[in-house]
Amino acid sequence: MSLNQSDRLKILKAIKKVDFLDKTALILSIWFGIGLLPGIPGTFGAAGAIPLYLVGDFLGPKYQPFLLLIIITGAVWSSHRTQCILGKVDSREIVIDEVAGFLLVFTFLPFTWLTIIAGFFLFRFFDILKPPPIKKIEKKVLGGLGVVLDDLVAGVYAHLSLRLLLYMLN
């Protein structure tokens, strides 16, 4: 059994044993099970945010910041609780941080297929590459805030790059 498989099993066992609040934190942090998919959980987590992005687009730009704030708050809280429950810092299975970063990319941008595809790849590019100060933030900021903050900065980089790309194409 690989280490990653045992981490997934540990999360599944923890979900069965913990109280309601911690169960909620675990389920949110793995974004309803997407973080348990084998292989590339960060990419799956970002893709799993697409339905939530569509909800935000439907609500309109006036409500997008509120939706983003709710997700960021939930991401910080659930990531922190999951780290405490598992005794492991920034487990690969925690993907709600990718959800928050992905949503940040599209705040105040209209939905088009070009926007969503380009934004998805730009976000994953910056999230994986971790240009300064993302790598430093990841190492220095602890707890749930540290888990989420590096993805938010990657989201800012992707957002700005996407705006530049869309400007150049128009």
pTM equals 0.93
The whole-angstrom separation of Cα 42 and Cα 136 is 19
DSSP assignment of 21-68: HHHHHHHHHTTTTGGGSSS-HHHHHHHTTHHHHHHHHHH-TTTHHHHH
Q: What pLDDT does 139 receive?
A: 85
pLDDT tens, the chain, 170 aa long: 444 667 788 888 999 999 999 999 999 999 999 999 999 999 999 999 999 999 999 999 999 999 999 999 999 999 999 999 999 988 999 999 999 999 999 999 988 999 999 999 999 999 999 999 998 988 899 999 999 999 999 999 999 999 999 999 98
CA 14 to the chain's CA centroid = 21
Answer yes or no: are the C-beta atoms of 44 and 95 closer than 8 Å.
yes
Q: What pLDDT does 3 receive?
A: 47
Q: What pLDDT does 151 receive?
A: 97
Phi, psi of 141 (to 5 degrees): -90, 125
Answer yes or no: are the C-beta atoms of 124 and 136 closer than 8 Å.
no
Q: What pLDDT does 2 receive?
A: 47
Cα-only R_g, the chain: 16
**CA angle in degrees (0–180, nearest 5) for 67-12-143:** 50
